[in-house]
Chains A and B, each alone.
Chain A
């Protein structure tokens, strides 16, 4: 496996974005798991996203420098994967499962309730920057359908009546 190289310089991307030293350390630790550093690309994007909530433009070049690959390769990966956000999202991301088992057990009502309670649709963020709403592939919680995920927490079955109390837990 790759040897970790010690950090020597500050990693600065475009727009004056400066990679947090702890993030660079975390990326180099991930790189050690693979034959080639590019394999840590998704994890590197997730490391930046954990700090900022999304991946700012300048981070693309910074990650590329750490991994030793071109920025286009990093951007290509960032824009392919649905859980990497290339624009700002709210403090909490609500992922609604819209796959078949949820569709068969009340997804439509649940989604409508989310849209009306949050006042936003897919891909939008509430004005107070609290919630972003997105659809997601089957969450693997079909015996608890309809299901949704808020940040790292999976819930199900969730009825429209459960929503106010549930959302309250995410200030």
Chain B
């Protein structure tokens, strides 16, 4: 290969990066990222230990009280960073253990595929030991004997870094039998996937881990009762687990105080932004930072574009408007606006962007990634795409928009096994609410004969 070809390959290669210099990141305010290096190189075990690595595991093992870990996590109210926002401590308190119950599994959901989300990759590629440390604490609290990092297949670099870090941790006695002389056994394997967004749904993830098609399972039983191979299993997102070590070391009050008086949700958050902005990127900021502050950090919209609408945390969250830029981005506040915080990585749509086209793109994604288990999702999403494609071309029929309303309602919460269909419905419903006129402009034809009547529109 010629030198110029190889140098072009290198210059175009994607590298995960945090847009905050080391000087700005401190242990007491940036628990997720203060150890990261400005040069973007991996923080391996030696450096990690120098930077107080594995101290929380040492502390927890010394104290020997798994229930205290759960109590601290509940009190800190660390909410699930994969997007659902469920309290990790509460989840852990529901894991069956004790008595005749066999020890179960600690599973890290590293299947990061939510469109617009690029945060877990950074943590795994540059600071693998923080995740391992968090998983050990999770295993202690939930009495897990083995852990898996369920990693999406495309994250080749994450797999390489994690496997080397796991080997380092094993050699140093942080994983394996009798961790640090405590009598506690726990080890971790990296399980890589082979595509499909649905693998990020926790019960579909367990099916996939077991070597099956990634269809979701009915809940209950919840994974904490009966998960992988029928054993109590805990599934937590990468960023969630990376919060645990500092919470255990510094306590719930410290964690709560990280967000100041911005919001009731505590801690810091990896916030990011993408789309046509000047400097798309990723930062660790206090929970409750506003969309406006994040957009400012990104230098505003690219080339004087005007912001039209934005998704606060992935494709499965609802559209917000420029007027929502002042809201603190926490789980409850965003929820009240008819959206969800999701993963907290913003995607910005400029004024000239057709919302019909953007919705068509989003629903094509959801339709393609539906696992096909439930009818509203399997059949409703391709139908939605078909209607949106017609509207985009200005060939919609009278009644199409009402039909979209109905299809979205049919995908609502509780009507399907998992949150995939509700996730597809939320951006559509908010787009129809805020930008209905754009959809109406795509209607040019009377209702076709084939469509007259057979579908009762308006009621679920």
Please list the residues of chain A having a beta carbon within 8 angstroms of any beta carbon in chain B. 1, 33-36, 38-43, 45-46, 67, 73, 76-77, 80-84, 95, 98-101, 103-105, 135-145, 147, 149, 152-156, 158, 162, 165-166, 168-169, 171
Contact = CB atoms under 8 A, between A and B. Distances in A.
B229 interface: yes
Nearest to A162: B12
B225 to A, nearest CB: 17
Contacts of A36: 210-211, 229
A156 B347 contact: no
Nearest to B212: A77
Contacts of B55: none
Given A84-B194, A141-B14, A95 B154 contact: yes
A142 B6 contact: no
B66 interface: no
B145 to A, nearest CB: 10
Interface in B144-162: 146, 152-157
A104 B273 CA distance: 12
Contacts, number: 180
A45 B274 contact: no
Given A76-B213, A169-B1, A169-B5, A142 B14 contact: no
Contacts of A100: 115-116, 311, 315, 347, 358, 361-362, 365
Interface stretch (B170-178, B276-284, B334-342, B392-400): B276-284
B210 A39 contact: yes
Given A104-B347, A104-B353, A165-B5, A137 B274 contact: no
A33 B189 contact: yes
Contact of A166 (B8, B155, B212, B350): B8
A94 B368 CA distance: 18
A169 to B, nearest CB: 5
A81 B154 CA distance: 12
A83 B155 contact: no
Contacts of A1: 146
B304 interface: no
Contact of A142 (B1, B4, B5, B280): B280
11 contacts: A41-B212, A76-B213, A81-B193, A82-B194, A98-B361, A101-B275, A104-B347, A142-B345, A152-B156, A154-B157, A169-B8
Nearest to A168: B5
B197 interface: yes
Contacts of A76: 212-213
A105 B275 contact: yes
Q: What does DSSP make chain B's interface, helix, strand, loop or mixed?
A: mixed
Contacts of B117: 138, 140, 142
A54 to B, nearest CB: 13
B121 interface: yes
B237 interface: no
B118 interface: yes
A144 B212 CA distance: 33
B317 to A, nearest CB: 11
Most A CB within 10 A of own CB, among B4, B5, B349:
B5
A140 B194 CA distance: 15
B165 to A, nearest CB: 17
B369 interface: yes
Contact of A140 (B13, B118, B191, B361): B118
A80 B358 contact: no
B209 interface: yes
Given A99-B116, A140-B117, A104 B13 contact: no
B40 interface: no
B13 A101 contact: no
Most B CB within 10 A of own CB, among A67, A81, A143:
A143
Interface in B95-150: 112-118, 120-121, 146
Nearest to B209: A39
B211 A143 contact: no
B9 interface: yes
B256 to A, nearest CB: 30
B27 interface: no
A38 B212 contact: yes
Contact of B274 (A73, A101, A171): A101
A166 B229 CA distance: 44
A98 B116 CA distance: 11
B411 to A, nearest CB: 18
Nearest to B8: A165
B208 interface: yes
B212 A138 contact: no
B196 A82 contact: yes
